[in-house]
Chain A
Amino acid sequence: MNKILSKKMFSEKVACLEVEAPLIARSRKAGHFVIVRIDERGERIPLTIADADIQKGTITLVVQAVGASSTRITQLEPGDVLHDVVGPLGHATDIQKYGTVVCCGGGVGVAPLYPIVKAMHEAGNRVIVVLAARTKDLIILEDEMRAASDEVIIMTDDGSYGTKGLVTNGVETVINREKVDKVVCIGPTIMMKFVALLTKKYDISTIVSLNTIMVDGTGMCGACRVSVGGKTKFVCVDGPEFDAHEVDFDEMMMRMRAYKADEVEAMSKLNA
């Protein structure tokens, strides 16, 4: 049982939770994730560790309500508990001094991007963050990102904030302006696919963090498998980060629709 100590709503659908998990707080690094179960009937849901405080013994999770389980997590309040939290899982991000690093994120991908931005900056990189969302209200973690990086570029689909355009437009602007040594991209699969296509054109090494469907998160089931460079990989143990230019995004998007019908049903039950 892991108690929720504090909660902040970043937007209508995105909650930031500080959760008691002293052992995980001590072991985690940027890029790691946990698996969470809300109660004894709950699904095992993967969530990135956005931040941690070793002294307080807490980890921070940023959760976006997309389906039934994630919606219920965003509805928890301080004092409530998560039935299970296990981790840290996956490989940590390969943090090095690359030079100039562009970190781009969309949707809830911005949360897992945050610890990477922080770590890349601490490692002495020039870090430029590109945040993208449909509209102004959905931009999250802007202040935190500004504090942890050299520059933040905001892109919105409707132009209600920052520059009007897609994340790829923002990244391309930077590439045309200065030499970029590394790109890190976390967001919806389709966004990662297009960022990968863009950086491939410019031949810039790019990391993506994949958010496939998972069950155990320990390499035991293979639900999370993706094709990377023509080989089958398990995202939970071989990833979650991979070379963006090797990932078969189309197959991944297809596989993520496996439980579409069940998801719709669960959501309608939750709303009833």
Chain B
Amino acid sequence: MTLEEIKALRSEPWREELRKAVSPKERGAIERVKMNELTPEYRVTTFTEEVNQGLTKEQALLEAKRCLDCADPSCMKGCPVSINIPTFIKNIERGEFLEAAHVLKETSSLPAVCGRVCPQEKQCESQCIKLKMKQQPVAIGYLERFAADYERESGQMQAPKCAPKNGKKVAVVGSGPSGLAFSADMIKLGYEVTVFEALHEIGGVLKYGIPEFRLPNKIVDAEINVLREMGVNFQPDVIVGKTISYDQLHEMGFDGIFVGSGAGLPRFMNIPGENAIGVMSSNEYLTRINLMGAGRGLGDTPVLKGKNVAVIGGGNTAMDSARTARRMGAERVMLVYRRSMDEMPARKEEVHHALEEGIEFMTLHNPIEYHADENGRVNEMVLQVMELGEPDASGRRSPVPVEGKTETLPADLVIVAVGVSPNPIIPNAISALETSRKGTIVVNEETLQSSVSDLFAGGDIVRGGATVILAMGDGRRAAANMHSYLSAR
């Protein structure tokens, strides 16, 4: 959207009127809304009930008033997909909630998801003008979630209109946010879209990774169902590069391929004792519980439980694992992170919720060895005490071991959440595909086209681990560019 278009929308009469109705000073005096939450004591007893309960209508109307409807809305620059933030917020302020949802849908195909999981404080909200005015930023994420939830709950969720079929077929590899966003745009443009997913469920990390207490499956499914209604064909249990090859996709008549296969390969630290029973990757732990329903009476798959659980890492995945362990009944959950609180990459809200739920944060500690009992089950971890040294390339102060200072603590379940690498299946299967040293697919940064001209890629397989909204933004950009490419051909 150009600044001209943003301005044109802003000068519609209803918005002029709305702006005049309340003075900036009055708007500035309203306090930022607080999210309604389940109490920490209650929520650790339930796996599926969402911690954040959403805003009420009254809260949303009031929070929307705080937004100044800026002439040059800086918040939009913080949103990777440039959602027209003031336009959707002002629609909330005037009570047109469905219209607000439609504004969101113009740019984001999964607003109910992003409103819940975006690191808003680092993105849109970090650029809100109110921060410069020494006020709290507008709660853009909460409002986004409110509008999207309102639309879904109203039963008036409508599938966007699709252009007449153009006779071209595209294949999507992976059903995570990048693949879903790509599919939404391509089906609208008139393409026949088939999504191939390796797992038996559609949704990628949204389903197997992020737990239900943060992102309920029914929210993800509702968004997927809209895509189904629009005609997107989902094929679970198909691994591109294994079940069908790149050449076979061509034989099947696909004109273009989008790869959104994610960063699914878990990293381990390669320290002694790491293969003991009870030491597992966060992917394994979360997949067993979220995807397979283990420990929740929802399936036949088992998952190990622990009394003293240690989670290694400081990202969203670590927080989700720790909070999940708490809900699985652990007595003590320790989060072991080698840097300090300030460097922790997880979302602030996540850290806050984890602390409230009684997770012990052991910052400036790093595991160096695990011990096991006679059955091979882990029972202790040896932690190296760390301190912060000089800033490294990323600008963060790097952790250095404090010579000779270690601690040994009991731990009967250790969840390793120290990062993931790009999924190697597609790069291994298509030899002409250029990849980086880290194993990510190399693409043209503008168009997301790879070295194989009819193959575009985005999301974590290109970025090597990012966010839902960045993955979605990639999906949309790849759709636009593949459309130009296929139209010109």
Contacts and interface: CB of A to CB of B under 8 A. Distances in A.
Interface of A: 23-24, 27, 37, 41-44, 68-69, 83-89, 215-216, 218-223, 225-227, 232, 237, 251, 254-255, 257-259, 262-263, 266
Interface residues of B, number: 39
Interface of B: 198-200, 236-239, 242-245, 264-266, 268, 270, 274-275, 277-278, 280-281, 283-284, 287-288, 292-293, 298-302, 304, 375-376, 423-425
Nearest to A254: B376
Nearest to B299: A41
Given A87-B243, A221-B284, 9 more contacts: A27-B245, A41-B300, A43-B300, A86-B239, A88-B243, A221-B287, A223-B284, A259-B302, A262-B302
Given A27-B244, A86-B237, A225-B275, A232 B270 contact: yes
A44 B301 contact: yes
B275 A86 contact: no
B280 A223 contact: yes
B425 A27 contact: no
Contact of A84 (B236, B270, B287): B236
B425 to A, nearest CB: 7
B200 A86 contact: yes
Contact of A222 (B238, B281, B302): B281
Q: Is the interface of B mostly helix, strand, loop or mixed?
A: loop
Contacts of A69: 300
Contacts of B283: 220-222
B277 to A, nearest CB: 4
Contact of A42 (B198, B281, B299): B299
B146 to A, nearest CB: 33
B268 A218 contact: no
15 contacts: A23-B244, A27-B242, A27-B243, A27-B245, A41-B293, A85-B237, A89-B239, A216-B198, A218-B239, A219-B264, A221-B266, A222-B268, A251-B275, A257-B376, A258-B277
Contacts of B300: 41-43, 68-69, 266
B284 A219 contact: no
Nearest to B421: A219
A86 B198 contact: yes
A216 B285 CA distance: 12
Nearest to B300: A43
B243 A222 contact: no
Nearest to A1: B237
Contact of A219 (B238, B243, B265, B268): B265
